[in-house]
């Protein structure tokens, strides 16, 4: 969960709660990091920008954190569906349904994600 001294720095978003996901260095560049949430979510980074998406490919139940990150997209390794990291939109079949995206910010080297209040937090990633 968020720490009280960081809370004033985070924008209030109705229906969402900010939580500390991990340190910025824990997310490998051009790769994904699965977070301990239900439903599963994952952080991605490319060119020093962080993205958070629901982790399950909408074509088949497979982790996007295992995929390839390139040119602002993540590609599912199971059937090669591709999603836009900015919007969650499917960019290549067989996926036709977008994945949910979540606001991300970095404060003092820690990555914070604003997840819907219906999501459960199982653990801090790192």
List 4's β-bridge partners, or say none.
none
Q: Which of 22-31, 34-43, 66-75, 88-97 has the weakest average pLDDT?
A: 22-31
pLDDT band at 60 (very low <50, low <70, confident <90, very high): confident
**3-class secondary structure per residue, 94-105:** CCCCCCCEECEE
Q: So what's the pLDDT on residue 61?
A: 86
Task: Look at residue 126 and tell me whether its pLDDT is greater than 70.
Answer: no
Query: Is 6's pLDDT higher than 60?
Result: yes
Short-list 57, 67, 51, CA closest to 102: 51
Quick one: DSSP state of residue 11?
A: P
Of the candidate ranges 31-35, 87-91, 114-118, 120-124, the one whose mean pLDDT is the lowest: 120-124
* pLDDT at site 64: 97
Residues forming beta bridges with residue 22, ordered by sequence position: 111
Per-residue model confidence (pLDDT) at position 125: 54
Structure tokens at 10: 């985070």
> In whole angstroms, what is the distance from residue 64 CA to residue 82 CA?
9
Q: Has this prediction a pTM greater than 0.95?
A: no
Q: What is the CA radius of gyration of the chain?
A: 14
What is the rounded distance in angstroms from the CA atom of residue 1 to the CA atom of residue 24? 16
Q: pLDDT grade, residue 41 (50/70/90)?
A: very high
Average pLDDT, the chain: 92
- Residue 20: per-residue pLDDT: 93
Estimate to the nearest angstrom the gap between the alpha carbon of 51 and the chain centroid. Answer: 5
Q: Give the pLDDT confidence score for residue 123 in this predicted structure.
A: 63
């Amino acid at each position: 969960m968020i720490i009280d001294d960081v809370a004033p720095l985070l924008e209030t978003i109705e229906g969402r709660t900010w939580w500390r996901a991990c340190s910025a260095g824990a997310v490998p560049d051009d790769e994904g990091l699965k977070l301990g949430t239900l439903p599963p979510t994952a952080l991605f980074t490319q060119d020093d920008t962080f993205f958070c998406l629901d982790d399950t490919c909408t074509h088949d139940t497979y982790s996007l954190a295992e995929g390839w990150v390139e040119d602002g997209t993540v590609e599912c390794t199971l059937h090669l569906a591709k999603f836009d990291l900015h919007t969650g939109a499917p960019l290549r079949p067989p996926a036709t349904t977008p994945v949910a995206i979540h606001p991300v910010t970095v404060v003092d080297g820690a990555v914070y994600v604003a997840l819907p209040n219906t999501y459960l937090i199982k653990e801090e990633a790192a």
